[in-house]
Amino acid sequence: MIIDKAISDYVNGIYEDICNYSRNQDETVDEKTKLAAQELAKTIDQQPIEEKSLVRVERLWDKDNIEIGNVIDFGIASTSRNQNFFNLIVENKVDGLSEYQDDCRYVEYRFKNSRSLDVSKQSDFDQQEELIHGKYKVVNKYWQPRVATTSFKEIELSNYPIVKTRLSKRGLKVFTYLIDGEEKEFSERQQSITIQYHNKPEHERWIVELEIAD
């Protein structure tokens, strides 16, 4: 079937070209990309509207785009059924998707309803992937601090500077790290820490809820 070939083209290397063409109609792309994008868009548009939760994570470049009432044209875009997808990206636990950077702003799109095409069986990425297409309206948004959990060993080997080291009364090493301008002590027995960023624009995480645009 034509759609099977289009899905195969998508998951086997030209997904970025397909998604870009579906948004921008760039006529410089080759015929293979055009046909795959057109077939995927048509098939997705034929799917029933379902009220299932899908998630998409992107770098946040322009906050004006996520104002309530705005309509966003995603073209063809990848989403995940996994509601914990953002945290998996943060922890670089999605094989092949490790572009997360701690000093960047992110937006987590949550689709309250959608037309989507399940490509999880064909996808190389373990993300429960479904493709959406078209325009969605922003119906709600709110800000959350990002939370990152790191083991003691990872902290010791990281680039955080150690300000001082001391021994506790029990003879355990206690390290003082300079983390985001603050000195914090951690015992060598401590298994993990939770760093929560408050009111720092460089650590913004916006949750944006969307519905299919009329």
pLDDT at 159 (0 to 100): 63
pLDDT at 150 (0 to 100): 52
Mean pLDDT, residues 165-185 taken together:
78
pLDDT at 16 (0 to 100): 79
pLDDT exceeds 80 at position 61: no
pLDDT exceeds 90 at position 165: no
Mean pLDDT, residues 198-212 taken together:
72
The answer on 157 and 95 residing in a single domain is no
The answer on 139 and 157 residing in a single domain is no
pLDDT at 186 (0 to 100): 75
pLDDT exceeds 50 at position 200: no
Mean pLDDT, residues 181-206 taken together:
64
> Residue 157 is part of which domain span?
148-196
Enter the pTM of the model.
Answer: 0.69
Angle, CA 23 vertex, CA 19 and CA 7 arms, to 5°: 30
The answer on 174 and 87 residing in a single domain is no
What is the maximum span of the chain, computed from C-alpha positions, in angstroms? Answer: 72
pLDDT at 134 (0 to 100): 94
The answer on 43 and 134 residing in a single domain is yes
Q: Which residues contact 5 (CB under 8 A, 6 or more apart)?
A: 36, 39
Q: Which of 129, 111, 132 is nearest to 121 (CA)?
A: 129
DSSP label at 83? T
Mean pLDDT, residues 163-185 taken together:
79
Check if the beta carbon of residue 206 is closer than 8 Å to that of residue 142: yes
The answer on 131 and 76 residing in a single domain is yes
pLDDT at 157 (0 to 100): 42
pLDDT exceeds 90 at position 54: yes
The answer on 113 and 58 residing in a single domain is yes
**How much is the mean pLDDT over the chain?**
77
Angle, CA 148 vertex, CA 114 and CA 61 arms, to 5°: 50
The answer on 64 and 167 residing in a single domain is no
pLDDT at 7 (0 to 100): 72
114-133 pLDDT, tens digit per residue, is: 999 998 887 766 678 899 99
pLDDT exceeds 70 at position 11: no
Percent of the chain with pLDDT over 70: 70
